[in-house]
Amino acid sequence: MATEDKNRATAAAILPLVGGAANVSSIAHCMTRLRLGLHDRTLVDDEALKAVPAVMGVVEDDTYQIVLGPGTVARVTPEFEQLVEEGRASAPETPGPVHTAEELADKGAALKAQQKTKNSTPFKLFLRKIANIFVPLIPALIGCGIIAGLNGLLVNLGWLTSVTPALAAMASGFMALIAVFVGYNTAKEFGGTPILGGAVAAIIVFPGVANIDAFGQTLSPGQGGVLGALGAAVLAVYVEKWCRRWVPEALDVLVTPTLTVLISGLVTIFGLMYVAGEVSSAIGTFADWLLSTGGAGAGFLLGGFFLPLVMLGLHQALIPIHTTLIEQQGFTVLLPILAMAGAGQVGAAAAVYLRLPRNESIRRTIRSAMPAGLLGVGEPLIYGVSLPLGRPFITACVGGAFGGGFVGLFNQLGDSVGSTAIGPSGWALFPLLDGNHGLGSTIAIYAGGLLVGYVAGFVATYFFGFGKALLTEFNVSQEPAPSTVAATGPAAASGGTPAKEPAGV
């Protein structure tokens, strides 16, 4: 089957299982997930969706998220959007006969209130906005990061000397102007005019700021970095909104953009650049200090608690920190440590596979999700295996802690291991690795951390991840004969425990 046909087939398989085109209110995607806004979530068939070959798992948050994996999601989403448009065009104007408008409105309101209570605290909504600013930049960070690694390798080997300057330009061009993209996305996310946010943020990287003195110091192009750009664009949004309220409509097209850039620009030059520069420097200094002094302990905590942070949505606060470190040092030392959380999940899943030899349902899930887990896509293993079982999720975190402690120890000994981009994890992070003692040493340390995470997650789960009750409940066949399904079947008659499908599997 051709790639386009395969992607369209996947989209066509998903659409009816989420209630059809009429039930889809919004469509977006991130690195691994198709994110859908749905009018009525009771129309979704979760189990059927999980059975679609390309679907690695589903996640319910403020949107309904279908895990398809990197690469696949970017190809399936346009096909899905086209099918939704075609479905809406051919559908009758009135809703289907199953639900009245009042019923749908009541269900939608109840689900919306429930989701807001669970996931839409002001702090989480703010973090989601911050993540939405930086997530669109990840493909460029990955591409430029890989080119930078390739260029470094060629320079060290002395190969293709006429090509390496061009590769350096490709790798560095985006990072030199990343503040502009952050400003553009920030204004867009906070409800302003994107190009005005980009225009104000561009001041930060303009070479001419080197002729300006602020707080008794000469400014440097890029001072304040992405944090300064974020702050400048947020300020521009508020200035613009104020102007829209008070400037007469006849003058709005001239006065509003002028005042927005002028006021925000002056505050950026004579305030934000200096303050954000100090904050950015402090972040870099703290990260270096944390790993050079805390080392194994800091890595243990970061690797162990990263998955709970992901479950709470608090990991999004790390995105601007990663970006700041990449901008300052060329790589972030935190990401390889946090990536060990995925290694713990892989090791825990392998242990679950061996501990539940009779549960073909869970073992089938593990077999299908393991390749993605090795490549750093952890959602299928988290939501399909460890989290529904409970204790194996905790032992998986223990595996991540030991892997993080291993990488942190080498940072403490002076071998920094970093990533030139954010987004990838697991084996997919190898092409983006960088450090201060050569690529070979960096790769060896990271690979060692993954191995430690795999082993620790496996051992912790195999020996401590299952109590007798959990084994009794789940180490049974999940595909009984039809005659044994009824409550009065042989299992009940013999006093045995009837088969039970684990939640989320």
Which two structure tokens, joined as six digits, stand for 70?
A: 């990197």
Length in residues, the chain: 505
**Rg of the chain on CA atoms, in Å:** 26
Residue 465 neighbours by CB under 8 Å, 6+ apart: 348, 351, 352, 355, 389, 391, 392, 394, 395
Closest CA to 457 of 373, 398, 405, 391: 398
What is the CA 58 to chain-centroid distance, rounded? 15
Q: DSSP label at 221?
A: T
Question: Residue 36's beta-bridge partner residues?
Answer: 27, 64
Token pair for 352: 């679950």
SS3 readout for 107-123: HHHHHHHHHHHHHCCHH
Q: Which two tokens stand for residue 470?
A: 């959990």
Q: How far is CA 455 from CA 336, 423, 460, 470, in A?
A: 17, 24, 8, 22
Q: Please state whether 144 falls in left (phi above 0), alpha (psi between -120 and 50) or beta.
A: alpha
Task: State how far the Cα of 391 lies from the Cα of 106, in Å rounded to an integer.
Answer: 37
In 3D space, the residue among 456, 488, 125 whose CA is nearest the CA of residue 304 turns out to be: 456
Q: Is the dihedral of CA 445, 448, 454, 455 positive or negative?
A: negative
Which one of 30, 144, 243, 397 is the catalytic residue? Answer: 30
**Catalytic residue status for 30:** yes
> 209 Cβ partners below 8 Å, 6+ apart?
203, 219, 220, 221, 223, 269, 273
> Cα 389 to the chain's mean position, in Å?
23
CA distance 284 to 461: 36
Q: How far is CA 302 from CA 214, 343, 402, in A?
A: 37, 13, 10
Cα–Cα distance for residue pair 72/52, rounded to 1 Å: 13
Distance CA 296, CA 413 (A): 10
Which residues belong to the active site? 30
